[in-house]
Amino acid sequence: MSDRQLACLVLAAGKGTRLKSRTPKVLHAVAGRPMIGHVADAVNALSPNRVAIVVGPDMDAVAAATVPWIVAVQERQRGTADAVLAAGDLLAGFDGDVLVVFGDTPLITTETLERMVARRRAADNPAVVVLGMRPDDPAQYGRLVLGADDGLEAIVEFADATPEQKSIGLCNGGLMAFDGRRLPELLDGIEDGNAQSEYYLTDAVAVARRNGHLCAFVEGSAIEVHGINSRAELAMAEAYMQDRLRASAMAGGATMIDPGSVFLAADTVLGRDVTIGPSVVFGPGVTVEDDVEIRAFSHIEGAVVRRGAIVGPFARLRPGTELGPGARIGNFVEIKNATLGAGAKANHLSYLGDAGIGAGANIGAGTITCNYDGFLKHRTEIGEGAFIGSNTALAAPVRIGDRANVGAGSVIVRDVADDALAVARGEQVEKTGAAKRYRARKAAEKARKSK
């Protein structure tokens, strides 16, 4: 059986009107990735022989986000069965299995899709397999109607259900697997005589039964088929996804002191014995190696943090940051497009942008790389073992040599040689007894005026 072919159809033509957004629904992000990207991961992991996505008109951005999938356009949204018909060309002559998934259910897992396909391929050869679920609140989901032998007889949409059918707890998760040899015949039998005047794909079950074919269902978690139609449901999906990502980070060997306050991106990579403090946010593109500590209230995106580094509290790592092994980034330090060598330190109040900082360099409190001249960005290079005094401005492009020192409060506009000391600030002047004379003069002035 397993040499049967598999085609996946991803339905995403819905406009998502209730999101009240200019962005198509399936491009809204969950855990830092468009929701269709999560669906794509789950689907692609099945290695299907063909995949198509059904989009509405003017959804080129959705098509672009799912390259190399074949794109079918459904001109008018006339229901889920009509959406499958819109991808008809892809399925012409296809006699393998056809899995229909929704673009707005980002929590679906490959494992559940595999169970559906396996059930479809079981010896009793059901024409249709439906993903069922028992949510705490069955709300407006379609209901699965079972026959005397517990076989699936029909799916009734909420809008068309009798009060008795509404009391059924077993709901339709929406995803369906078909025997591709039967699909044309099933689609042919679907009509739009229902409350919403739509062609419901769910009616394929009743059509199959009428034509004498077996239908079956597998049960999955209601969370996996949580569909997104509103901003509130988007926030719920984010919460579910975060719980899943946190659990997997901890299972992988990361310690989280307050997991509920840590936000991860779908692609966050955490090594072993990483410790993450409360209220840390990871944007996309972060890799954290073993034995790193990320302290509270840090915000990290597009960054690589090598083994044993310590970041935060209150640090911000922006895209293009690479921290070497054992580097230390302290509070209120912002780093962008900059590489720090092994053991380099910037512990307080700095901005390091477009910079290369050598191993063991020490960046004093308040150091700023002035990387932008109002027109272009320029680089700052700081050599190995260099020491930058506090409150230094490094006007890029500029290079500080290996083991060079820069005096505190300097404004550095020219390169500094290896092993040199550069000081670029006003000379210190000292006038003996001047403060005392000043106080005496002012006191006398005040006494004269108050007479």
For the annotated catalytic residues, the residue numbers are 348
Burial class (CB in 10 A: 0-12, 13-18, 19+), 297: middle
**Angstrom distance (rounded) from CA 74 to CA 59:** 10
Closest CA to 45 of 4, 8, 89: 8
For residue 85, give the nearest of 202, 188, 175, 215 by alpha carbon. 188
Beta carbons of 316 and 333 less than 8 angstroms apart: yes
Handedness of CA 168, 170, 174, 176 (dihedral sign): negative
CA distance 105 to 42: 11
- β-bridge mates for residue 300, sequence order: 282, 317
For residues 252 and 429, what is the distance between their CA atoms, to the nearest angstrom?
A: 60
Q: Which is nearer to ligand UD1, 59 or 386 (CB)?
A: 59
Which tokens hold the place of 402?
Answer: 């290996």
Minimum separation from the CB atom of position 31 to ligand UD1 (A): 19
Nearer to ligand UD1, 226 or 345 (CB): 226
DSSP 8-state class, residue 263: B
Q: Which residues contact 262 (CB under 8 A, 6 or more apart)?
A: 246, 256, 276, 278, 279, 280, 281, 282
**40 membership: H or E segment, kind and range:** helix 35-44
Residue 189 or 227 having the CB closest to Mg ion: 227
CB nearest Mg ion: which residue? 227
Choice between 227 and 325, CB closer to Mg ion: 227
Q: How far is the CB of 172 from ligand UD1 (least distance, A)?
A: 4
Q: H/E element holding 114?
A: helix 110-120
- Which residues contact Mg ion by CB under 5 A? 227
Nearer to Mg ion, 25 or 246 (CB): 25
Are the beta carbons of 352 and 346 closer than 8 angstroms?
Answer: yes
In the complex, what is the shortest distance from the CB of residue 155 to ligand UD1, in angstroms, rounded to a whole number?
6
Which residue is it, tokens 């799912």? 66
Closer to ligand UD1 by Cβ: residue 19 or 265:
19
Binding interface with ligand UD1 (CB under 6 A) = 11-14, 54, 74, 77-80, 82-83, 102-104, 141-142, 155, 157, 171-174, 200-202, 225, 227
Give phi and psi for 100, each to the nearest 5.
-105, 120
Distance CA 86, CA 238 (A): 31
Q: Is 202 left (phi over 0), alpha (psi -120 to 50) or beta?
A: alpha
Q: Which residue is nearest to ligand UD1 (CB)?
A: 142
Smallest gap, in angstroms, from Cβ of residue 295 to Mg ion?
Answer: 41
* Residue 270: closest CA among 214, 216, 309, 212: 309
Least separation in angstroms between CB 156 and ligand UD1: 8
User: Considering the complex, what minimum distance in angstroms separates the CB of residue 215 from ligand UD1?
Assistant: 14
Strands 387-388 and 33-34, sheet pairing: unpaired
Q: How many CA atoms lie within 13 Å of 404's alpha carbon, on the beta-carbon side?
A: 22
d(CA 244, CA 224): 11
Rounded to whole angstroms, the Cα distance separating 84 from 102 reads 11
Residue with Cβ nearer ligand UD1 (190 or 274): 190
Contact 248, 232 (CB under 8 A): no
**What minimum distance in Å lies between the beta carbon of 158 and Mg ion?**
11
* Residue 242 C-beta: closest distance to ligand UD1, Å: 21
Closest CA to 99 of 165, 154, 40, 51: 51
Residue 26 or 262: the one with the smaller Cβ distance to ligand UD1 is 26
